[in-house]
Structure 1
């Protein structure tokens, strides 16, 4: 994945402060500005066959989200992230409500696709599957339209690159389409078909993602299937799936997940074949602090080097 726009931490802090002061300089503006975000920190231990143990700990990510409602159906959103000693602008876009059902947005925004979210605040466990780069869109620059009907939704995004947050070349745009069905309050089904021209080649990138979830009371169930063609120079075809269950016991939660995916090159050789079982209990200390424990068993059928990992995460939201 391409990195996002970078600033030094000092410059970013000054720019963010200046923008915030300007936005709230008038007393009436304070009601239109909302600030949210999170601090994510963790300890991770990985034991890999034949390679020994590794241990990592520290701040994984800090994020501040600014949303401003200008009125007259117009709003703006800026998402600033601190990670790996760098400050990045992840998202920056404006949204205009054409009607109660139809909205347009333009700028840099995250793809709608994929069951598992990019941010830790949307995950039911500590880790993502690791296969998102083959099947999901990423941060994108372009325009997107979303129509919300009665029990369904449709979306189309026209972007410079399906997974290129810094791409400015719009000669051959990527297209992402979504159909969502919500037959009941508990059931959601979303399907995505995306296509683009693979940079530096005459190959067309194609990605298909379909997921369904059932969420009622303390129980959440989800399943996802994926397939893609030419998502990178090495990957000619890829397929994968996941199944997941989460149950919330008041302040405690438990997530079980299994995922599997396979990637082939243009010659039909399998160069990535991974699967994993994840067990992840969690505890909500209060409305703002979540503690997540994870035990994960990964199987690599290509290298034969399986691994077990243990993670402990503290996620503070505000």
Structure 2
């Protein structure tokens, strides 16, 4: 233990991009463009939902919080990537690493719960359309959102405390581009058996429990849709769930691939690609997924854009 105290790590070195120095400039431009689109799309979605009364419904209320979470965890990861690519500085302090891990875990965990809440919202909207606004009243909506944030914060505190109270003694090189759980656990010199059980069990429980809620919600949604007599009516009803189902498939698919399979160094390259998808690509795609086929969002955008048009002089 004396040796561990003398060599205790105070900073980490992110090694995620050091193998490809020639790609640093192209990657910088790509990640910068992705991040700008992410900010524009998600913040724009929040503004549209705020200013247009047609979007003051439970579905868009939850969607605004999804956009906020996407902005949050993209903003805690992508700027670090941009700084590394722009300056070549790969060092991140122990405190910043812990803060990055906490905020990322908070946003990603809360998003798991929020997507489950949104699935329940779609079930209520389809199975009981006449009672939808009564069932999903503002008090219930806020309770569900606060519950999602509470669960996300609790999980983030638990996972961060369990991870960063471990001892990091010798190797401080993280073969990744941000402070994520699997590469951090590989560096610790503590006995991680008990804590890994807690961390991994809780993380897997969050993913699987919410995936189960979403699955049950969609089975009930399908049951309700099958009661619709016309095929056109069934297609129109299910189309209201298509955007959410796409977002769920992307988000949970990457999380399951990343965290629910056995860890191994031979999967490191794949892990890096998948982590880029759920930390950079998905936050950018979600506003597009929810807006491209959504008439209400398009109408709200045209209304807001019309306010900024310069009147033509006669």
When the two structures are superposed, what TM-score results if normalisation uses the length of structure 2?
0.24
Higher helix fraction (1 or 2)? 2
Instruction: Look at both structures and tell me which one has the larger radius of gyration over its CA atoms.
Output: 2
Higher strand fraction (1 or 2)? 1
